[in-house]
């Protein structure tokens, strides 16, 4: 039986791996964003069978702040194994039991303003 609660799945490397594999089998990718009047960040997370979790972050300065000068967004790609991701979560010690998996990805990715 595959664990359906990501917090319970954290207890075991194999259970968490099965949970993440199942999650991305059902959802294909996880997307999210963070925006202020001066800054934006978009991210996608997907699971690759060879490279593990691939987190793509696109950040930039909002056009209104730059007034006339076009900015080029910065794109960063991070790759980590499911176990590396599990260890990051365990070391962050997410205290809020109502935190969603999307919130965990945001926090691990370093999105500002995410409550831990």
pLDDT digits (tens, 9 = 90+) for 48-89: 988 899 988 888 887 765 566 667 788 888 888 989 888 877
d(CA 71, CA 96): 37
β-sheet bridge partners, residue 41: 34, 59
The token duo for 10 is: 């954290």
Is beta strand 39-48 parallel, antiparallel or unpaired with respect to 52-61?
Answer: antiparallel
> Which pLDDT score, from 0 to 100, does residue 35 have?
79
Q: Is 33:58 a contact under the CB 8 Å cutoff?
A: no
d(CA 42, CA 64): 18
d(CA 23, CA 69): 41
Q: Is 84:54 a contact under the CB 8 Å cutoff?
A: no
Q: Is the pTM of this model over 0.85?
A: no
Buried b (16+ CB within 10 A) or exposed e, 74-87: eeeeeebebeebbe
The token duo for 11 is: 């207890």
- For residue 92, what is the enclosing H or E element? helix 82-92
Judge whether residue 116 has pLDDT over 50: no
């Amino acid at each position: 039986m595959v664990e359906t609660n990501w917090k319970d799945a954290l207890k075991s490397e194999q259970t968490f791996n099965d949970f993440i594999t199942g999650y991305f089998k059902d959802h294909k990718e996880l997307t999210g964003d963070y925006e202020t009047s001066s800054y934006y960040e978009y991210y996608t997370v997907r699971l690759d069978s060879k490279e593990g979790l691939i987190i793509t972050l696109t950040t930039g300065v909002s056009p209104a702040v730059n007034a006339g000068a076009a900015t080029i967004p910065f794109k960063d790609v991070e790759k980590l194994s499911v176990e590396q991701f599990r260890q990051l979560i365990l070391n962050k010690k997410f205290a809020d039991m109502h935190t969603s998996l999307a919130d965990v990805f945001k926090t691990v990715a370093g999105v500002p303003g995410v409550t831990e």
